[in-house]
Amino acid sequence: MGVLIIVGTVKGAFLVRSDDKRNSWTVDGPHFKGWKVTTASRNSNGEYFLATASDTYGHAIHRSADLENWTQIVDGPKFEEEAQRKLNQIWFLATEADDYYAGVDEAGLFKSTNHGDSWLPVSGLNEHETRSGWCPGAGGMCAHAFLRDSQNPDRMWCGISAVGVFRTEDGGQTWTPKNQGIKVVIPDEDDSEIGFCVHALAQDPDDPNVIWQQNHSGMYRTRDGGDRWESIQNGLPSTFGFPIVVDPHTKWLYSFPLHSDEFRLPVDGKCQVYRSQDQGDSWHPLGNGLPESRYHAGVLRGAMDIDGHDPCGIYFGTTSGTVHYSNDRGEQWQSLPDIFPRILTVKVFSESDA
Amino acid sequence: MPEQEIEINVSSVLAMVTGGRKKFRCIGSTVNSVFEHLFDQEPSLRVHILDEQGAVRQHVLVYVGDEDLRWLGGLDAELNSPTTITVLQAVSGG
């Protein structure tokens, strides 16, 4: 059972396919040559979605049944003219359930109830009472993280950089900031509920209330759906980093720490993934097969993913265009031979699920 | 005001969303009306040429013949003879 990796870069998408053992790879691309490819997803029918962006020509969502012939969705996410907001980029596409969600920069959430044909703003979040206090961080102000309660689809979480995590219990009508216990990054004079810089979220597949968060200010865990977060830094070499992913079988966690928000470089020039085998209580470096020194590329928030296999495969792409992977839960790592443009997103799909 | 026949050329990057097509035959009496005819033929192009407020995107260059649209008064510029409109990206970035 092989995997498909969609590697989204600043100059297009590359489709990387493996053999059944995830040892041998073919690379096809670039697709959408010249466009940033910012995220990708698949729906329950096996149809793929891919988001493009351009500093000149703006954003779009495209879809394809065969990964060869793509059709742009004309009625995609769009701020109303009177909102005076600019939609710069689509950061995530959640298309697994019947209703789809898309998170964008400048921060906003959009929903489609017709399988992506048209999208409407989720006003309960986009016009939240704290909105006037939302401020962009170094990476802009984007709604980039999204989780859903597998046992209650009306319960969802959305992470907005430099603002924080919000939770809804009513299908997106109303949203509540859920950041207690997290160190504030941008204190707001009037509102202590915002100013928390979430970088990525991962959720326990069996207990939706257990969520891990790589934040601007450290690694955190909640056991109650975000009502209270606790710091889980034991063993990590820094507080900063972007991605966090969880193996659905073992619930082991994987992250890629970086040296401080000021420098955003690998710690001590080492390419090291950190793994937790105890739900975040402790972390340990993994590096067998990865570059051992003089390594200075980062991993962006969307550029690490995990497959659903057992043992799981972990995949990450770097800002210098390399892709590294392990097919044995992180024990041993290998690298693809290709050098891609700067990698924005890595999304992995099991070929057998399509 | 009589309508004119206009050829619109788009850049190679934009042709990625038009199935490779780079030339379009449109009619209209203003640049705006010609673009609307273009969007009727190829709806995917609207979001890439115009912004949320309906203006030409900041870093998109539109030439009417040899003239930059900005010096002709913008989208309401009248077209008095058949010509070519070219849609390009500004020379910037990496």
Query: Which H, E and C letters describe chain A, residue by residue?
Result: CCEEEEEEECCEEEEEEECCCCCCEEEEEEECCCCEEEEEEECCCCCEEEEEECCCCCCEEEEECCCCCCEECCECCCCCHHHCCCCCEEEEEECCCCCEEEEEECCEEEEECCCCCECEECHHHHCCCCHHHCCCECCECEEEEEEEECCEEEEEEEEECCCEEEEECCCCCCCEECCCCCCCCCCCCCCCCCCCCEEEEEECCCCCCCEEEEECCEEEEECCCCCCEEECCCCCCCCEEEEEEECCCCCCEEEEEEEHHHHCEEHHHCCCEEEECCCCCCCEEECCCCCCCCCCCCCCCECEEECCCCCCCEEEECCCCCEEEECCCCCCCEECCCCCCCEEEEEEEEHHHC
DSSP single-letter state for residue B30 = B
Q: Do A55 and B46 touch (CB under 8 A)?
A: no
Average pLDDT over every residue of B10-16? 94
Q: Do B44 and A78 touch (CB under 8 A)?
A: no
Q: For the ranges A109-123, A146-160, A182-196, B65-79, which has the lowest average pLDDT?
A: A182-196
Closest CA to A354 of A42, A71, A40: A42
Q: Is the ipTM of this complex over 0.85?
A: yes
Q: Whole-angstrom Cα distance, residue A18 to residue A30?
A: 17
Specify which residues A348 forms β-bridges with: A5
Q: Distance (Å) from the C-alpha of residue B2 to the closest C-alpha of chain A?
A: 31
Model confidence at A172, pLDDT cuts 50, 70, 90, reads very high
**Regarding predicted confidence, which is higher, B94 or B52?**
B52
Residues in chain A with CB shorter than 8 Å from the CB of B54 are 81
Closest CA to A55 of A114, A154, A140: A140
A1-34+243-354 sits in which CATH class? mainly beta
Q: Which residue has the tokens 């955003």?
A: A264
Question: Shortest CB distance from A72 goes to which of B44, B53, B57?
Answer: B44
Q: Whole-angstrom Cα distance, residue A18 to residue A1?
A: 9
Contact (CB, 8 A) for A317 and A303: yes
Domain extents in chain A? 1-34+243-354
Contact (CB, 8 A) for A211 and A202: yes
What is the tens place of the pLDDT at every residue in A24-36? 999 999 999 999 9
- pLDDT at position B19: 92
- pLDDT at position B93: 52
Q: Do B44 and A35 touch (CB under 8 A)?
A: no
Q: Distance (Å) from the C-alpha of residue A80 to the closest C-alpha of chain B?
A: 7
Whether pLDDT at A1 is above 50: yes
Residues in chain A whose beta carbon is closer than 8 A to a beta carbon of chain B? 32-35, 54-60, 62, 72, 74, 76, 78-81, 83, 85-87
Q: Do B52 and A87 touch (CB under 8 A)?
A: yes
Q: Whole-angstrom Cα distance, residue A103 to residue A119?
A: 11
Residues in chain A with CB shorter than 8 Å from the CB of B60 are 56-57
Q: Whole-angstrom Cα distance, residue A50 to residue A89?
A: 12
Which chain B residue lies closest to A82 (C-alpha atoms)? Answer: B53
Contact (CB, 8 A) for A171 and A181: no
Residues in chain A with CB shorter than 8 Å from the CB of B93 are 55-56
The CATH number, out of the four listed (1.10.540.10, 3.40.50.300, 3.10.20.30, 3.40.50.11900), of the domain defined by the range B4-89 = 3.10.20.30
Closest CA to A106 of B65, B52, B1, B8: B52
Q: Do A56 and B57 touch (CB under 8 A)?
A: yes
Whether pLDDT at A255 is above 50: yes
Which chain B residue lies closest to A55 (C-alpha atoms)? Answer: B59
